[in-house]
Amino acid sequence: MSDTFSKQEQEVIYRLIRARRDIRHFASDPVPEDALQRILEAAHYAPSVGFMQPWNFILITSQEIKQKIKASFEETNREQLQVLSEDERKELYRKLKLEGIMEAPINIAVTCDRNRDAPFVLGRSPMPETDLYSTCLAIQNMWLAARAEGIGIGWVSLINQQEVKQILRLPAGVELVAYLCIGYPTQFPKKPMLEELGWKSRLPLKTLVYENQWGQLKTF
């Protein structure tokens, strides 16, 4: 295994990072098991605090369980719509497709077992949330690996965590970090949906980079 990445290989990686999208429109084609395994392995190669590897992956393939999750999404989505006050935003919000739970051939719940290796996890105790953060690093590995395989992932955040935890029978101490829909997308859009539809623009990076203290802009 080579230790370095050529300019050309770096370009592949940057192209991948830019081509990744949050997918909500899925084709019905199944995800091949070997691709699925490679994606999960990529997740498992993420860093974790104290090498804790606190993640589990629950693959949801049962239509019945998907249906329960979908119902939970719909209720949460209705509640969100009521919170929005401006009519214009409401109108746009209504048009957005925010999940692909039923269409995606697989859903994956990514969890964090907060008691793994308890009581002593090297490096965690000053920032106990680093186990949850490690799980997110695994999710990004997974998302990028899937994109490389031509497979899309969509993160459904509009769900009732407690309900989903019950549906999936998560024991106490295991947190639901992400609920993901996985499958071949009908397309990988050029831009994020919310940017495309004018919900929000990409911020200029240079406004977000400071030097030595908050608010002191870095000049490149």
DSSP conformational letter for 203: P
Q: What residues numbered 115-144 form the site for a second copy, per CB under 8 A?
A: 117, 120, 122-127, 129-130, 132-133, 136-137, 139-141, 143-144
Can residue 208 be called a binding residue for a second copy (CB under 8 A)?
yes
In the complex, what is the shortest distance from the CB of residue 28 to a second copy, in angstroms, rounded to a whole number? Answer: 19
Q: Of the candidates 200, 149, 123, 158, which has an alpha carbon nearest to the alpha carbon of residue 34?
A: 149
Q: Does 149 bind a second copy (CB under 8 A)?
A: yes
- Applying CB under 8 A, among 16, 67, 91, 118 the residue interacting with a second copy is 16
What is the x/- site pattern for a second copy, positions 23-42, by CB under 8 A? ----------x---xx-xxx
Q: Work out whether 180 is an interface residue with a second copy (CB under 8 A).
A: no
The site string for a second copy over 59-88 (x = CB under 8 A, - otherwise) reads xxxx--x----------x--xx--xx----
The H or E element that residue 181 is part of is strand 174-183
Could you please report the per-residue DSSP string of 128-148?
A: TTHHHHHHHHHHHHHHHHHHH
Give the shortest CB-146-to-a second copy separation in angstroms: 11
Least CB distance from residue 182 to a second copy, whole Å?
A: 13
For 181, phi then psi, to 5°, come to -105, 135
Check residue 95 for interaction with a second copy (CB under 8 A). Answer: no
Does 181 bind a second copy (CB under 8 A)? Our answer is: no
Query: Count of residues for the chain?
Result: 220
Q: Give the phi and the psi of residue 177 in degrees, each rounded to 5.
A: -95, -45
Q: For residue 174, state whether it binds a second copy (rule: CB under 8 A).
A: yes
Helix, strand, or coil (residue 80) = helix
Task: For the CB of residue 115, give the shortest distance to a second copy in the complex, in Å.
Answer: 13
SS (H, E, C) 6-54: CHHHHHHHHHHHHHCCECCCECCCCCCHHHHHHHHHHHHCCCCHHHCCC
Q: Out of 145, 180, 181, 182, which residue is the one contacting a second copy (CB under 8 A)?
A: 145
Residue (29 or 195) nearer to a second copy, CB:
195
91 scored as a contact of a second copy (CB under 8 A): no
The enclosing H or E element of 193 equals helix 193-196
C-alpha 158/C-alpha 39 separation (Å) is 24
Minimum distance, C-beta of residue 101 to a second copy, in the bound complex (Å): 14
